[in-house]
Amino acid sequence: MSKRLGLQDLVLLLFLVTIFVLGVFFRVYNLERTGLEVDEVSNFEIAKSYYDVGFPSVKPEIGGVRQPSYFHPVFAYLLMDGWLNITGQPSILAARMFNVVASMIALGLIFAFAKSMGLGVGLAAMFFVAVDGWIVLINRMNYLENFQTALAIAGVWLLQMAYAKSDERVSMWWWGGAGLALGMAVIFKHIGFYLFLVVIANLVLVRRFWLGHVMTLAVMIMVVEVYVIAMYLMGGENFLEQQFTQMGRVFGTVESRGLNYGPIEAMKIIVDRYWIFVTTVLALLCGWMLVGWRYWQMLLGRRVLTDVVLVSWNVGAIAFAVLSKLKSPHYLILWLVPVYVFIARELINWARGRRMIYVPVIMVLFLILNIFTWNYRFIRVQGDVLRDTSTYINSELPDTAVVGTESYIGALLKQPYVRMDHIVKEEDLNGVDYLAIYLSTTATLEALSDTIQGYKSYCDVVAEFRGFKDRIVLCRVDHDSLVFRGS
């Protein structure tokens, strides 16, 4: 005979359904009108290339042929390609829906992981992640980090269950399972290497279960090795070259326009444009400081070791975020999810007893602030520079016109294009009819070649398109002016 649901179970179910529906609504409403972001265009093109040509690739420059693209592991693109084939809609909107589904899977995993610290912690963590404006922004976009987040949560959850076992020998399967899940998250995208720091931070903190931690790290390394060998057999030297380039971007030996900036520049960007993400900024600043303090207290033995895997998860994320030279904004979801689980735990522990009445007040205030963010960012549409520019070029310029621009803009054009980073000298402008120069708060004009920086002296502006944080200048190259300059 099945057990009937009690009042407490029904209330819990009501909370879960409400948070889930709220999360879906924030992610799906007005989804098609949200402006295109740089990386999601490239991600869609690579996924679609499996259907078109049978291997991951991007649109080649004029006179070139499609070459395999191995800068990021292929798993996400294969999954996305399968989704596009199932839905029968090879569009960026369909790709975004795939990411929404991935984000809701992650949301369920967050509740399952955080519930081990208490039901209230699970509900609060799920609520914060479901509503936070920046997480919603990333979940609405075609970003690889959305599915990677789900894998990372699953791996950390298994790591926590392994640590909870009192007998290390009995729990070796759990340690190995955690290594497998974390390893899969690592090879899903290079940024996942931060998970190695999570395991190391946990070992340094607890200084026990050495064999288990070594097992987790060994399995993670094995997964990475198997992936590298398999991909090398598939892509050869081309694969290795692209991997070294991508790793160079992370360590700062290879420059990546718009993604290499320090803390001062980051603060300027927040003040100038991203101030609307109030809860995100506060969560990172306050949450990271509190995490650091808690870790230090535990390390010195001044605080009981509780929920150490959660604390280590945050410490590993913070360390990687600080050390990495690649500061792509959508990486923030990987740092925000653990910090919100940590904040939820701290909030519930602080509020036990009479202060519990403050929890719903804080959650309502959190919701109101993020409704403001959501409305400002997704409802008050402020232009879609990538879509507006490509639409204009495709409809107004000749099909044979050659456009000098970034690859993610060239992918949207029916016209041939030349990559902007290949225009270094004035001679490189030979055969180029137009320039479409992408500029944003981080992708500055100064990061381009001197030839492009001086575009106003030889390029007549045709149109300019503006969005929330970026703009594109479209201009026609006057080759007579170039000849005069050269003389």
pLDDT of 12-41, one tens digit each?
A: 888 899 999 999 999 999 888 888 888 888
Q: Can you count the helices (H) and strands (E) in the chain?
A: 19, 5
Residue 266 pLDDT > 90: no
Residue 387 pLDDT > 50: yes
From 409, 486, 407, select the one nearest 451 (Cα to Cα): 486
d(CA 131, CA 364): 11
> Mean of the per-residue pLDDT values for the chain?
89
pLDDT of residue 1: 42
Q: Summarize the confidence of residues 120-143 as an average pLDDT.
A: 95
Q: Which residue has the higher pLDDT, 88 or 323?
A: 323
Q: Give CB contacts under 8 A, 24+ apart, made by 319-322.
A: 319/194, 319/197, 319/201, 320/191, 320/193, 320/194, 320/197, 321/194
Pairing of strands 403-405, 417-419: parallel
Residue with the two structure tokens 């026990």? 208
pLDDT of residue 381: 65
Given strand 403-405, what is the order of strands in its sheet?
A: 417-419, 403-405, 434-440, 470-477, 459-466
d(CA 436, CA 394): 13
Residue 487's pLDDT band, with cuts at 50, 70 and 90, is: very low
pLDDT of residue 116: 92
Residue with the two structure tokens 């400002």? 376
Phi-psi region of 88 (alpha: psi -120 to 50; beta: other; left: phi over 0): left
Q: Summarize the confidence of residues 112-135 as an average pLDDT.
A: 95
Question: What would the pLDDT profile of 412-449 be if each residue is shown by its tens digit?
Answer: 999 999 999 999 999 999 999 999 999 988 888 988 99
d(CA 414, CA 393): 9
The answer to whether the CB of 482 falls within 8 A of the CB of 458 is: yes
Helix (H) or strand (E) holding 404, with range, is strand 403-405
Q: Torsion over CA of 142, 144, 149 and 154, rounded to 10 degrees?
A: 120
Tokens of 161: 């269950």
Tokens of 485: 């300059």
Residue 306 pLDDT > 70: yes
* CB within 8 Å of 88: residues ≥ 6 apart: none
Neighbouring CB atoms inside 10 A of 38's CB total: 21
Residue 349 C-beta-side C-alpha neighbours within 13 Å: 9
pLDDT of residue 152: 97
Residue 251's pLDDT band, with cuts at 50, 70 and 90, is: confident
Q: Summarize the confidence of residues 344-368 as an average pLDDT.
A: 90
d(CA 476, CA 397): 10
Residue 101's pLDDT band, with cuts at 50, 70 and 90, is: very high
From 157, 174, 237, 261, select the one nearest 209 (Cα to Cα): 174
Percent of the chain with pLDDT over 70: 93
pLDDT of residue 165: 79
The model's pTM: 0.91
